[in-house]
Amino acid sequence: MSNKQTAVHINRRTSTFIPKSTMTTKKSITYSSTRGCPTQKHISFRSAVMRGLAHDRGLFVPDSFPTVSTAELESWRDLEYHELATEVIGKFVGEDEVPRDVLADIVKRSCGAFRSEEVTPLVKVDGHYILVSNGMLYGGCG
């Protein structure tokens, strides 16, 4: 890269350029076992995923929950399913553990395995809304 070039991140929704030198890398939150074992607290995202269950047989849950502003929610309104999933998952796993482009690729490929292009379409059947997930129907209220 020459001296005149600057690494940038492009916000594809607003087409604004943000110099990467001014950006901060979001850190992942940590996870702890629901059973409270002291050795199963504040575990990294990668460790929690690779372990599946905590050694004490508890489930890993986030130690804190990220916030989403009204403006951020509004910016998600027209996203495709895989893009929205990336935004939500990105709140729980930072670029210190999974770079954003890698996360987006994983999510997009995972969503490609679903039978519907919408991934989980909501359809109305006999006056009731039904969530369809990979061929399975989940009932709801009308």
Q: Mean of the pLDDT values across residues 31-52?
A: 94
Dig out the tokens for 17 from the structure.
């350029």
pTM comes to: 0.66
Residue 19 has pLDDT above 60, yes or no: no
Residue 134 has pLDDT above 90, yes or no: no
What pLDDT is attached to residue 113?
77
Q: In this predicted model, what pLDDT tens digit does every residue of 109-132 receive, in sequence order?
A: 988 877 767 777 778 888 888 777
